[in-house]
A = this chain, B = another copy of it.
């Protein structure tokens, strides 16, 4: 039995780990190892693997036996590489302890810097750096951070002591404090720790290290990290690695600095060296957005050699990883260190451009390019932007931190964002700056506006990751969260006032700006073309109007997978006729009303057929229960009671009572499971006959113009083959009669929805008659789980919160349950009718993970809303690539 290796060292141009070991070493650890092996300057250090985290969580916060010996050995190698010793009073090596999960979780977990400092070693640091202020600044920062993160003494308690000191010496900024001022903080800081924890602040560097490592592993399970994982579908069991890295300092004066850079512009995708840096600053200062940094181009002027070295490194890193990199670097007294490299987050626009251009550059192939863009992210490109041709009142200008547009009512805290959105409002979250605690609020907001912070600030990075519009660093505004208002010059914007954000320009606009549908770039179409070459699933759209249909065709829809005819019944001229039909006392009266609807329906279908220009069109016959077309029962009850109490006798009461009686008659306790779909068609065959006739007439009109259309007539809510057979016979009769009467040849298919569990269970029988299936996964999810979509809002969020469900099954197809039925429908259906066409037309048809499943089970097509068609095209291609492994 071999003992597992828990600690991986990188030092002296050699690393024990590799870049492809992200699962074991985390993203940061793998990146540091890989960079070390590439000969790129990295501060030496070592990584405790994610397996340690798992062990730690599963063993009541115990470590695996032998771990500490491995840490000590790794520390010896690190000391050797860096030429200092940890805890050496004369020339101490200082280290940071940082989290590093498989995928980046920016700012979610803890970090401690400057471990190894104590009353003795701080003297060595001062001696070696020749900078007493730097030494004490590092020391007091260390006590604050360690005290907060490891010992649980709130940051604010240290800040109080600091503020008192500033007041005492009469300064306002930390930087105005002298070395002596900073030195004088050490004793009260330590006293604070002793008072709050009952123990003295640990002087022993090894004890500090142990405490730091503990704290970082612990931080895997802080609430904000758990929330982030939930939002990003990161499994809890992955765990984080911990990196112990030699400290290097960007705050050792004018020849030092620190920065963040991307190998391409993460917002636009342009192939430029992009980044920001601060001179004489620690890395955290850039990310936290407290000081506004300089663009990386300035570095060429300020530190030309460093800039050249950095450019050479970034080019090597991108060429090595063949993807856009997000790097952190520090310059310590003229020496460059790379602290991290990882695949850079990017906007959808950038993702598309980078992927396409990298193919042009020969860096990657088309399939890789297709796999590089998150389908869900495309939403950003496909949703409306601000119409710049319309006059808008721009009240401030910030940084275009995450593109897109947002209109909403202003709120000032993450909590109120969540509350108001729950009430149905759309909100803009406005913060001076955001912190990881704001992530939940950012998630529900339409857009985020911050007064401080740069393009790589927390708000900007997180918003881009979410594909959410963000204007950051808008220093023209003053945010008063307490008073719930923003001041811009002499203008005041209050809570719930409406603002619009243009994340692509950084403009902050008063009121609701007009939004327009975006044009898609050439790169976008190129990428979609590649996706189309790869995918095998067809992509159709759910569209009820010629306008929607045309939109969807522009987005690449290859047909209509679901046209809901009931939407056509609600038109102003039609609803009275529909009500006449419902209130009819007998079949003759019903047929008379339906005859009036026929020309409307025929023209509806003709418009759709023309818009689709020969592409297949699936038309679902009337589905909802009839009471949906009548006034609400509750309203009538109230009205009748009021009329009665008021002694009405002008006939209104009698008329409303009669209507209420009919509505009561049609009332259902569970309309979802009631008299709807094909059940209506069977009770009143004349309704479906009218619709079938309208479809046939529209197709006949086109046929006479020499145009081909093969309508697919779809019967909803079928649960038994007998239902389908009963209706199919009648539909065929009507269509054949139209063909004969109009003397045209027409091809058509008659198929069914698979949306009742029993339809999936007996799909072999249903396929004896049905010529196609379309899986209605909305209803199928309702019935398979027994969740009413209209009512489940009461408990579903709680279910996801309590991890009873991993995600909302109405958003992401439940593979274990609903998916099992979909698979059954496909397999049983094709066992009877091998050529059976099977598609999906629920909301899941536009959701990437669900589309992957549809590909896996062998569906012919997915159908989704027009705006999601490109997402589906891309997801379908990625499903093929995932299959290839």
Residues of chain A whose beta carbon lies under 8 Å from any beta carbon of chain B: 633-634, 637-642, 644-646, 668-675, 679, 682-683, 717, 719-720, 722-723, 726, 755-758, 761-762, 765, 779, 782-788, 790-792, 794-795, 798-799, 802-805, 814, 816-818, 820-821
Contact (Cβ within 8 A) A795 B679: yes
* Contact partners of A644 in chain B: CB under 8 A: 642
Chain B: minimal CB distance from A703 (Å): 33
Contacts A/B (CB < 8 Å), 19 sampled: A634-B634, A637-B637, A641-B641, A668-B791, A669-B671, A670-B788, A670-B790, A673-B782, A673-B783, A673-B787, A682-B795, A683-B798, A719-B817, A720-B805, A720-B817, A723-B804, A755-B786, A758-B784, A761-B821
Name A's interface SS: helix
Q: How many copies does the complex hold?
A: 2
* Contact partners of A786 in chain B: CB under 8 A: 672-673, 717, 719, 755-758, 779, 783
Nearest to A666 among chain B residues (CB) is B794
Apart from A670-B671, A682-B802, A720-B805: 13 A-B pairs, beta carbons within 8 A? A634-B634, A645-B646, A668-B788, A670-B670, A673-B786, A674-B788, A720-B804, A726-B802, A755-B786, A758-B786, A761-B784, A762-B816, A762-B817
Contact (Cβ within 8 A) B641 A674: no
Contact (Cβ within 8 A) B761 A804: no
Contact (Cβ within 8 A) B641 A637: yes
Contact (Cβ within 8 A) B757 A682: no
Nearest to A794 among chain B residues (CB) is B675
Name A820's contact: one of B642, B755, B761, B818 (CB within 8 Å).
B761
> Which residue, of A671, A717, A761, has the highest number of chain B Cβ atoms within 10 A?
A761
Nearest to A793 among chain B residues (CB) is B675
Q: Within the assembled complex, what's the spacing in Å between the Cα atoms of A675 and B787?
A: 9
Contact (Cβ within 8 A) A803 B722: yes
Q: Within the assembled complex, what's the spacing in Å between the Cα atoms of A850 and B830?
A: 30
Contact (Cβ within 8 A) B790 A669: yes
* Contact partners of A762 in chain B: CB under 8 A: 816-817, 820
Name A673's contact: one of B672, B719, B803 (CB within 8 Å).
B672
Given contacts A672-B673, A673-B791, contact A765 B816 (CB under 8 A): yes
Q: Within the assembled complex, what's the spacing in Å between the Cα atoms of A32 and B641?
A: 72
Q: Within the assembled complex, what's the spacing in Å between the Cα atoms of A790 and B761?
A: 24
Q: Within the assembled complex, what's the spacing in Å between the Cα atoms of A641 and B641?
A: 6
Q: Within the assembled complex, what's the spacing in Å between the Cα atoms of A644 and B683?
A: 41
* Contact partners of A799 in chain B: CB under 8 A: 682, 723
Contact (Cβ within 8 A) A804 B683: no
Q: Within the assembled complex, what's the spacing in Å between the Cα atoms of A633 and B669?
A: 12
Which 5 pairs from chain A and chain B are nearest by CB? A645-B645, A673-B788, A670-B788, A758-B817, A641-B641
Q: Within the assembled complex, what's the spacing in Å between the Cα atoms of A771 and B720?
A: 34
* Contact partners of A639 in chain B: CB under 8 A: 641
Chain B: minimal CB distance from A190 (Å): 43
* Contact partners of A720 in chain B: CB under 8 A: 804-805, 817
Q: Within the assembled complex, what's the spacing in Å between the Cα atoms of A722 and B806?
A: 10
Chain B: minimal CB distance from A683 (Å): 6
* Contact partners of A805 in chain B: CB under 8 A: 720, 722
> Which residue, of A637, A673, A783, A818, has the highest number of chain B Cβ atoms within 10 A?
A673
Q: Within the assembled complex, what's the spacing in Å between the Cα atoms of A765 and B645?
A: 58
